[in-house]
């Protein structure tokens, strides 16, 4: 299998964004039935099997933002999660896959601000960036200056990536310029850190509004657009992902700027992860199949992928407790 070296997040270019174009937003219309037909075609195909599936699953691991966002997070839990990020698959499994000399890590570790310094210290020398959720995550309803200060504090603590949440009210009321100005302010507060804009798609009311919010966030300079906080009643779905991915493609055609995509929430199985990878490959191409432009926001996904890889090399499924996360 081809062995790929993990690329540091700070080595890929920032998205500069552009001026606000109201006409770009106004012209967006989404055919929901066509979206559903396109997604249904994914389930009707023969999926990748055997060694090809194993290779795709290794690719998926490299694109995971391994996440812990619990009220009972402790420094010890975060350090254990960081250890898993540095060595996401048991060495004996990698050896049987012929990957023992490869440098396989997850794409990032994602934590609350309070745990950024702990994660940065635990990951020192690994090349794995720390992503911090910010701006009053998950609701985003703190005062604006508080949200901006939180971004700056996380960057100062060593976070290389900031996952911000947008104000849903601007989308629900169609106040697109206000959304643009808000995300632009977040972008400036991030400095050199990369910014992922969380849309909370399950709360935006319609698939067309999701598409418009995606375009506005990219105009404002989002390096990634992300579906969800993982804490809404509806999180990442394939139909929503298709719409957001096509907005990324449209923005690239308009500006030449490549924006990344991050589905988050509810992606817990290797089978579902493969569907997302296939969708990215078919809609955006192989260039987007790297940690620089695609991430999964997940906590349980890695465990299922590791179980599938062990099944590939042994023919048996192991208990989940043999693949601890932290």
Catalytic residue among 84, 184, 209, 262: 262
CA distance 159 to 129: 7
Question: Judging by beta carbons within 10 Å of its beta carbon (0-12, 13-18, 19+), is residue 27 exposed, middle or buried?
Answer: exposed
Q: Helix, strand, coil proportions of the chain in percent (round to 5)?
A: 50, 10, 40
Catalytic residue among 196, 209, 226, 258: 226
Q: Is 271 assigned a catalytic role?
A: no
Cross-strand pairs, 262: 226
Q: Is 65 assigned a catalytic role?
A: no
Catalytic residue among 65, 163, 223, 304: 163
Token readout for 77 is 């839990």
Phi, psi of 298, rounded to the nearest 5 degrees: -155, 160
Q: Is 258 assigned a catalytic role?
A: no
Q: Are 105 and 127 in contact (CB under 8 A)?
A: yes
Catalytic sites, residue numbers: 163, 226, 262
């Amino acid at each position: 299998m081809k062995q790929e070296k993990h690329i540091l997040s700070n080595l890929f270019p920032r998205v500069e964004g552009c001026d606000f174009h109201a006409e770009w937003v106004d012209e967006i219309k989404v055919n929901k039935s066509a979206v559903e037909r396109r997604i249904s075609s994914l389930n009707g195909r023969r999926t990748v099997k055997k060694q090809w599936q194993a290779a795709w699953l290794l690719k998926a691991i490299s694109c995971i933002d391994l996440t812990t966002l619990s009220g009972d997070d402790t420094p010890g839990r975060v350090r254990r999660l960081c250890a898993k990020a540095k060595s996401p698959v048991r060495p004996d499994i990698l050896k049987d896959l012929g990957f023992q000399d490869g440098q396989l890590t997850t794409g990032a570790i994602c934590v609350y601000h309070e745990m950024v310094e702990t994660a940065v210290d635990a990951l020192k020398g690994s090349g794995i960036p720390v992503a911090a959720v910010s701006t009053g995550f998950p609701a985003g309803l703190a005062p604006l200056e508080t949200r901006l200060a939180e971004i700056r504090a996380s960057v100062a603590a060593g976070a290389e990536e900031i996952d911000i949440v947008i104000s849903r009210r601007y989308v629900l009321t169609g106040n697109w310029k206000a959304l643009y100005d808000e995300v632009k302010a977040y972008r400036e507060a991030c400095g050199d850190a990369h910014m992922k804009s969380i849309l909370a798609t399950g709360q935006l009311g319609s698939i067309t509004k999701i598409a418009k919010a995606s375009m506005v966030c990219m105009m404002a300079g989002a390096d990634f657009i992300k579906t969800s906080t993982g804490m809404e009643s509806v999180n990442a779905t394939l139909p929503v992902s298709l719409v957001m991915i096509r907005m990324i493609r449209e923005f690239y055609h308009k500006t030449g700027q490549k924006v990344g995509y991050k589905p988050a929430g509810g992606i817990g199985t290797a089978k579902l992860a493969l569907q997302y990878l296939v969708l990215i490959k078919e809609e955006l191409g192989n260039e987007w199949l790297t940690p620089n432009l695609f991430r999964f926001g997940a906590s349980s996904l890695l465990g299922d992928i590791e179980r599938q890889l062990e099944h590939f090399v042994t023919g048996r499924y192991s208990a989940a407790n043999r693949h601890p996360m932290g």
